[in-house]
Amino acid sequence: DTEVTQTPKHLVMGMTNKKSLKCEQHMGHRAMYWYKQKAKKPPELMFVYSYEKLSINESVPSRFSPECPNSSLLNLHLHALQPEDSALYLCASSREADRMYEKLFFGSGTQLSVL
């Protein structure tokens, strides 16, 4: 199993809603990532979890709250988002977070629209 599974695939939410994005991998990877990607732009790193602990937060606004319940699961809790937060949210994983041989495996993403 070399898949990273993200749900939902599409999400529309209002600015007062609370929603969560979910990501799961069963490759035994110990590093998991959230990226945000706007149309025709490269992915931007948001968070990195290494061994279930938050290791990198790229100064992301607090309306985005990550959670890593266990080594296979990664959530991104959303609250009071702005229309400019509309984007493709990508989850990724790798065996380790800071080793030179690491290959990134991406999920298919959640297309988020904030109205």
Partner 1 sequence: KQEVTQIPAALSVPEGENLVLNCSFTDSAIYNLQWFRQDPGKGLTSLLLIQSSQREQTSGRLNASLDKSSGRSTLYIAASQPGDSATYLCAVFHAKFYFGTGTSLTVIP
Q: Which residues bind partner 1 (CB under 8 A)?
A: 4, 6, 40-43, 45, 48, 56, 88, 90, 92, 98-109, 111
Alpha helices, DSSP H only, in the chain? none
Half-sphere exposure for 8 (CA within 13 Å, toward CB)? 9
H or E stretch at 21: strand 18-25
Which of 48/68 has CB closer to partner 1?
Answer: 48
Shortest separation between residue 87's beta carbon and partner 1, angstroms: 11
Shortest separation between residue 115's beta carbon and partner 1, angstroms: 19
The dihedrals phi and psi of 29, each to the nearest 5 degrees, come to -70, 145
Q: 53, 47 in Cβ contact below 8 A?
A: no
Quote the DSSP letter at residue 59: S
Shortest separation between residue 17's beta carbon and partner 1, angstroms: 22
Shortest separation between residue 92's beta carbon and partner 1, angstroms: 8
Which of 70/99 has CB closer to partner 1?
Answer: 99
Which of 72, 70, 69, 75 has the alpha carbon at shortest distance from 28?
72
Which of 47/64 has CB closer to partner 1?
Answer: 47
Which of 9/77 has CB closer to partner 1?
Answer: 9
